[in-house]
Amino acid sequence: MTEAEITQHGGDAEELGSETPKEAPREVGSARRWTTAVTALAAALMTLDITVVNVAMPEIGADLGASLDGLQWIVNAYTLSFAALLLTAGSVSDLIGRRKIFLAGVAVFTLASAACALAPNAGVLIASRAVQGAGGAMVLGTSLALISGVFEGAPARARTTAIGLFTAGGAVSAALGPLVGGSIVEWLSWPWLFAVNVPIGLLIVYGTVRKVPESGAVAGPHRIDYAGAVLAVLALFLLNYGLLTGAEDGWSKPHVLASLTAGALLAVAFVGVQWRLGERAMLDLRLFAIPTFAGALLLSFAARIFSFGMLPFLTLWLGGMLHLTPIEIGLVLLAQSVAIVIGAPLSGLLTKRVPVAWVLALGMAVVGVGVLLTVGISPDDSWTVLLPMLVMIGIGAGLTLPHLLALAVNVVPPSRAGTASGAANSFFPLGTATGVAVFGVVLSGKVGEVMSTSALGEHAVPGWATGELRRLVTAGRFDAVAAAVPEPARNPVLALAHTAYTEALSHIFLIAGVAALVAAAASLVLVREKDTYEAAEAEPETAATQA
């Protein structure tokens, strides 16, 4: 829920402080307003950290000498850690207290941001990004649950408005992120992208300690799903490591095969553990029996594949091949962000007239058509060829994203809000990580195919076709390619490199476009209004517990 809910419920902001139709105590209203404010600011900070890093990828790669797999890990170290721990953070917060986990997460994220800013090499930056992701998971895995807890007993519209403001924080940050990131890199340097998080993090800690009440802690013995948390982290890491390194080193390498096999086995073990634990699991698999819950998570996963999953490769093309500056890249990507802001209010208007499932399907279909329109991109194209796709992805995301978190949370009992919000939030970064990994495989494979030894022909130099040359091209470092290739081979090799990269982008667009259309069809089947949870529908003792 983003600007759509603000538009739809404009004038409801005053309800944030109301407990019933009658005037609530002043301290209750203050707690609700502060909780909404700090969680919205936290959502903005976590989202900003993803978008600004993508814009700076060419500069980070050149400064630290990172290859494509290194650049992918700078993105995926954050998203994988984030995704793996979100489930644990949400379920643990329901047991021991949501504010405790939220505060710890902000502190971890702030310290890790400082470490990122001071990172001397790619390895340290990747490790610091992983710690950042852990902090981000603790923050966003508890934010919606904090809102749900503080608004318990409040009118439904007040809770909806608060969730809308929370998600709007992330939406505004996503809209401004490319431009903010480009400006910082252009006028300062990429370490400042992380340094700016420190004062904002301290402000969030101050507001939370002073004004946000605790919620979610349960009395009596409780059990944390440590086994599920460890299995999730290991499975996600090994699968992603196998995908990223396989594309670079070859799929037959022992360490690649071992990583993929072990990751798949651990994923199966994770599913088994979660099924056995039931309600005590960090991801209650029985929630997926609710079609709307399953549909919301599927669309959350898909939406990030089409946006953040493709973003690193677009920025490498814009910066490395077209030589746009960071701020120019930010301005180009701003087209998608502006379109999201346009699409979100339109989504609110449409849901007043048609079922939300139709709006979600329309959003995914718009994304699919927009991406497919860009299939066939060529080395002679300029940045303008991306504009129709970026605008249509933005409009589609604006139609879709405002509803996904609310759909997931509103079909479960309030006592499971932390678990449900953690699950829903985890599928966003999982989509990003999957998109970065899978599209990286497509890119590396296509570049290797086009720039084979036979294709290079008379310009081939030992080691180029299978080594450093392809690594430079997949990392978007075309200036380094030009510097490494002597005349008269330079221009022919550069032309082949440009062809390889744009053909790879075209394949990525084809895969993403078809997947978006499949997601559109799935939303019509899975999302159902009748799945919305109502306390009156619960068993008598359950309903009494929720009162």
- pLDDT tens-place string over residues 459-494: 555 444 445 677 777 776 777 777 766 677 667 777
% pLDDT > 90, the chain: 5
The rounded radius of gyration (Å) of the Cα atoms in the chain is 23
Give 303's contacts (C-beta < 8 A, 6+ positions apart). Answer: 367, 397, 400, 401, 404, 428, 431
**541 pLDDT more than 60:** no
Q: Following CA atoms 61, 189, 48, 180 in sequence, which dihedral angle do they give, to the nearest 10 degrees?
A: -120
In this structure, are residues 197 and 45 in contact, taking their beta carbons and an 8 Å threshold? yes
**247 pLDDT more than 70:** no
pTM of the model: 0.67
pLDDT of residue 254: 84
DSSP 103: H
In this structure, are residues 208 and 264 in contact, taking their beta carbons and an 8 Å threshold? no
The first and second tokens of residue 90, run together, are 């949400």
- pLDDT tens-place string over residues 423-432: 776 677 677 7
More reliable by pLDDT, 140 or 104: 104
**206 pLDDT more than 60:** yes
State the Cα–Cα distance between residues 428 and 400, nearest whole angstrom: 13
**CATH 1.20.1250.20, applies to 3-225+282-533:** yes
Lowest mean pLDDT among 193-202, 413-422, 461-470: 461-470
- pLDDT tens-place string over residues 59-116: 777 777 766 667 777 877 787 777 667 767 766 666 677 777 888 888 899 999 999 8
More reliable by pLDDT, 231 or 4: 231
**5 pLDDT more than 70:** no
Q: Where are the domains of the chain?
A: 3-225+282-533, 226-281
**439 pLDDT more than 60:** yes
For residue 334, the Cα-to-chain-centroid distance in whole angstroms is 17
Average pLDDT along the chain: 74
Average of per-residue pLDDT across 510-536: 79
Give 386's contacts (C-beta < 8 A, 6+ positions apart). Answer: 314, 318, 332, 374
More reliable by pLDDT, 520 or 3: 520
- pLDDT tens-place string over residues 45-63: 777 776 677 777 777 777 7
pLDDT of residue 223: 64
**272 pLDDT more than 80:** yes
